[in-house]
């Protein structure tokens, strides 16, 4: 028997998506601060400590300890709960923060646990616990791109995470391994063994331009990968906007183009 609220949903859009959640009376969805888009009359919004998976009662110190785990993943102490306090079905929508895809995850179908990037969580049915996942291996923590700490989604309800660019879902069999750029890992099921592997080779290290480490994902389990990590996009934009940042466009034609559009002066 499921313990989390059971919610219906509909995804809209292609490159800039939003998810519309349909709530029955007394149903609630929790969301990351800043992801709200719109809601029907009859939806009540409430700021809460932590993820709301446990009753908001008891001593304030206990609440702060529970919510404080989210600070370790780079998120706010607070989340927002949207509850249908009216009669009939009501809808509330949440938007992706940048171009990419929203991934719906039924935790009941994935043995109650998904591990994801620190900033991937968007919203979930009330009852889903959003915690931290400490990487067991030193190499994974130091060089994994996401550090020692990732987000852990636990429960038996629906959760939604966001990824940049296109998303690919891969099912790994027992012992099957996949090497991935560390920034391209969005989420994986709890049965996946996640580790870090040194690229190796002096030419790869100095001239490869792809980083020094791979993420290795070993089955059995399912993984979700993104084609455009937000960190990669941000670095490219910063490089393009910096002085001399357009040299990669070509030594002759690129320089001429910079002169013509005013960048060379």
- The span from the CA of 50 to the CA of 235, in Å, is 31
| For residue 212, pLDDT beyond 80 | no
Burial class of residue 63 in the structure, from the number of CB atoms within 10 Å of its CB (0-12 exposed, 13-18 middle, 19+ buried) = middle
146 SS3 class: coil
Is residue 177 within 8 Å of residue 219, measured between CB atoms? yes
Domains and CATH numbers, the chain: 8-228 (3.60.160.10)
Is residue 67 within 8 Å of residue 50, measured between CB atoms? yes
The pLDDT-based confidence of 200 (bands split at 50, 70, 90) is: low
C-alpha distances out from residue 235 to 146, 223, 249, Å: 16, 25, 16
The whole-model pTM stands at: 0.78
Of 121-130, 140-149, 237-246, where does mean pLDDT reach its minimum?
140-149
Tokens describing residue 248: 């990669």
244 SS3 class: coil
The pLDDT-based confidence of 197 (bands split at 50, 70, 90) is: confident
142 SS3 class: helix
pLDDT, averaged across the chain: 79
């Amino acid at each position: 028997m499921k313990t989390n609220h059971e919610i219906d949903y509909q995804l809209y859009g292609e490159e800039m998506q939003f998810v519309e959640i349909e709530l029955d009376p007394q149903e609630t969805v929790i969301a990351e601060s800043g992801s709200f888009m719109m809601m029907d009359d009859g939806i009540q919004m409430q700021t809460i400590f932590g993820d709301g998976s446990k009753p908001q009662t008891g001593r304030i110190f206990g609440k702060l300890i529970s919510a404080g785990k989210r600070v370790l993943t780079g998120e706010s102490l607070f989340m927002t709960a949207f509850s249908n306090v009216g009669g009939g079905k009501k809808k509330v929508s949440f938007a992706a923060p940048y171009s990419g895809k929203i991934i719906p995850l039924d935790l009941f179908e994935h043995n109650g646990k998904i591990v994801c990037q620190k900033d991937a969580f968007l919203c979930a049915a009330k009852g889903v616990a959003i915690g931290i996942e400490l990487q067991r291996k030193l190499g994974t923590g130091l060089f994994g791109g996401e550090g020692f700490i990732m987000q852990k989604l636990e429960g038996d309800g629906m959760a939604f995470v966001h990824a940049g660019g296109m998303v690919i879902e891969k099912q790994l069999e027992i012992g099957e391994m996949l090497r991935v750029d560390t920034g391209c890992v969005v989420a994986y099921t709890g049965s996946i063994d996640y580790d870090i592997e040194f690229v190796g080779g002096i030419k790869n290290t100095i001239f490869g331009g792809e980083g020094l480490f791979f993420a290795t994902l070993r089955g059995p389990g399912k993984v979700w990968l993104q084609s455009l990590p937000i960190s990669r996009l941000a670095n490219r934009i910063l490089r393009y906007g910096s002085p001399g940042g357009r040299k990669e466009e070509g030594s002759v034609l690129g320089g001429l183009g910079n002169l013509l559009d005013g960048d060379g002066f």
